[in-house]
């Protein structure tokens, strides 16, 4: 599959889908608290997507080759769960960290984004992991411009994560997105500068680093979807969908409640 360069009309449709995905996260934020189940968060998001936004939850019944259909409308990954956690009866408790991953389909186009949430007062180490992962995502986004490479993105993310004492998950990566949930290119969150596909205006892809407090190795749970750290260490992930523009980049998954670019990076912008 080759990389799809989006037209002006497709880019505008992706802006709409990206904003709507982010607005689901805005909507669910007040409900993320101790005592709520991940299944209830899924129900809330599903109803908001379907009944308010008139969007389609892309994960629901999504079944790539080799996978059973995904049974829920969002992904909820708690503590040592890296990604693709299936919402259910798990009750959130004070100190948990949680990734909520949202993908909506609007008028045939996908918007994909995720955020970390902290329940109550997590330990300092958990808070730092979430913050450094947020910085990793933005450092990767900052590499996006015409003429740069996929390797530039991955190298910048890996360097910041490892300098902070963390590891980068290698089995999962960012991806092109548009009319299809997953398109080319694959956007690795590690690598060497100057390698991989060269970026050009009209490309749209996600940057979604998964950063572990311990070792990078992961394993799949018996449900066939949930990925966890092998050493049971905490994991965090943030995700934005990004457009390569003529002069740099545009983040498409932005809404009123989108967390601001980190102060650390704002100072050097």
Among the listed residues 189, 184, 201, the one whose alpha carbon sits nearest the alpha carbon of residue 250: 201
Whether the per-residue pLDDT at 106 is higher than 60: the answer is yes
Query: How much is the pLDDT for 232?
Result: 98
**What are 70-86's pLDDT values in tens digits?**
999 999 999 999 999 99
Residue 57 has which token pair?
A: 């939850």
Residues making up the chain, counted from first to last: 269
Question: Does the bond joining 185 to the residue before it have cis omega, within 30 degrees of 0?
Answer: yes
The bridge status of strand 210-212 relative to strand 235-237 is: antiparallel
Residue 109 pairs with which residues in a beta bridge?
Answer: 106
Note every long-range contact of 66-69, with CB atoms under 8 Å and residues 24 or more positions apart, other chains counting: 67/224, 67/225, 68/224, 68/225
Using 50, 70 and 90 to split pLDDT, how confident is the model at 12?
very high
Query: How much is the pLDDT for 269?
Result: 46
Residue 37 pairs with which residues in a beta bridge?
Answer: 91
Enter the pTM of the model.
0.96
Rg, C-alpha atoms of the chain = 17
Least confident of 62-66, 82-86, 130-134: 62-66
Residue 141 has which token pair?
A: 């986004």
Domains of the chain listed by start with CATH number = 8-266 (3.90.230.10)
**What are 144-198's pLDDT values in tens digits?**
999 999 999 999 999 999 999 999 999 999 999 999 999 999 999 999 999 999 9
Whether the per-residue pLDDT at 266 is higher than 60: the answer is no
Q: How far apart are CA 41 and CA 44, in angstroms?
A: 5
Q: Helical H runs in the chain?
A: 8-28, 38-47, 124-141, 150-163, 263-266
Whether the per-residue pLDDT at 267 is higher than 60: the answer is no
Contacts of 200 (CB under 8 A, 6+ apart): 5, 146, 244
Instruction: Tell me whether residue 7 is exposed, middle or buried, using C-beta atoms within 10 angstroms of its C-beta: 0 to 12, 13 to 18, 19 or more.
Output: exposed
Instruction: Tell me whether residue 41 is exposed, middle or buried, using C-beta atoms within 10 angstroms of its C-beta: 0 to 12, 13 to 18, 19 or more.
Output: buried
Place of tokens 């311990």: 214
Q: How far apart are CA 157 and CA 138, in angstroms?
A: 9
H or E stretch covering 111: strand 109-118
């Amino acid at each position: 599959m080759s990389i799809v360069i989006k037209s002006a009309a497709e880019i505008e449709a992706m802006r709409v889908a990206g904003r709507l995905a982010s607005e689901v996260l805005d909507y669910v934020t007040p409900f993320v608290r101790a005592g709520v189940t991940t299944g209830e968060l899924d129900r809330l998001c599903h109803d908001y997507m379907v009944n308010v936004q008139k969007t389609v939850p892309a994960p629901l019944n999504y079944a790539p080759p080799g996978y059973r259909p995904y049974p829920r409308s969002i992904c909820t990954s708690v503590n040592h769960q890296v990604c693709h956690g299936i919402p259910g009866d798990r009750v959130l408790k004070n100190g948990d960290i949680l990734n909520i991953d949202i993908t909506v389909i609007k008028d045939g186009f996908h918007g994909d984004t995720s955020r970390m949430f902290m329940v109550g007062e997590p330990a300092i180490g958990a808070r730092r992991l979430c913050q450094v992962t947020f910085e990793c995502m933005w450092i990767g986004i900052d590499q996006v411009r015409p003429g740069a490479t996929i390797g530039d993105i991955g190298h910048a993310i890996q360097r910041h994560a490892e300098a902070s004492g963390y590891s980068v998950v290698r089995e999962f990566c960012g991806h092109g997105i548009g009319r299809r949930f997953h398109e080319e290119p694959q956007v690795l969150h590690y690598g060497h500068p100057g390698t991989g596909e060269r970026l050009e205006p009209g490309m749209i892809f996600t940057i979604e680093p998964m950063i572990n407090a311990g070792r990078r190795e992961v394993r799949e749970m018996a449900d066939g979807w949930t990925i966890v750290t092998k050493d049971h260490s905490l994991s965090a992930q943030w995700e934005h969908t990004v457009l390569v523009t003529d002069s740099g980049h545009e983040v498409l998954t932005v809404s009123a409640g989108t967390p601001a670019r980190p102060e650390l990076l704002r100072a050097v912008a």
